[in-house]
Amino acid sequence: MAKIHNIDANKLHKLLKAKQALLIDVREPAEYQSESIQGAHNLPLAEVTIDKIELLADTDKKLVFHCLSGKRSLMACNKLRNDDIEFDLYNLQGGISSWKNEKLSILTSARKILPLDRQVQLAIGLMIVFGLILNYFLNSIWLILPLIAGFGLINAAITGWCGLARLIAKMPWNK
């Protein structure tokens, strides 16, 4: 069974310069287009499969995954490890955020988009606020919105799966 190793931004930078690593960005396409690490291949978390990785994988290079903070990339590593991939996997600790904190260069575009996790936070906040406002002015049935948001957060905390994140990832602005 493959092992998952954490790697820091500076060590990854050295590996990339020496052409010893293959970097996979598991964020959504819009996040990747907004800012990315030079040489990274975009493969959103939902599309990570052993078949797609084997097409990209160069057995002489370390296979490194990254996202915004390191959470989605660790999920990608675990997903592949559970599929019995035959080589070790590497997760960029702290994701592209740690890369930027180390003042390493990134490619940026004029198109800016909120990262997926912040889009989810915004949607949950709006569900709660609008549910409470509509409850106050119209009818208590609107309390269903904060209730759904609460149950969604509980589910995401317990299982690590967020249905709202999957839904928002499919929205046109994230393509």
Is 67 considered catalytic here? Answer: yes
Model confidence band, residue 60 (pLDDT cutoffs 50, 70, 90): confident
Higher pLDDT, 80 or 130: 130
Tokens at residue 72, please?
């989605």
Rounded-to-integer distance, Cα 96 and Cα 67, Å: 6
Q: How far is the C-alpha of 127 from the C-alpha of 151, rounded, in Å?
A: 12
pTM of this structure: 0.75
Query: pLDDT at position 117, please?
Result: 86
For residue range 6-48, what is the model confidence (pLDDT) as tens digits? 999 999 999 999 999 999 999 999 899 999 999 999 999 989 9
User: 30, 67, 85, 124: which one is catalytic?
Assistant: 67
Under 8 Å CB-to-CB from 18, ≥6 apart: which residues? none
pLDDT, mean over the chain: 91
* pLDDT of 86: 77
- pLDDT per residue over 86-112, tens digit each? 788 999 999 999 999 999 999 998 877
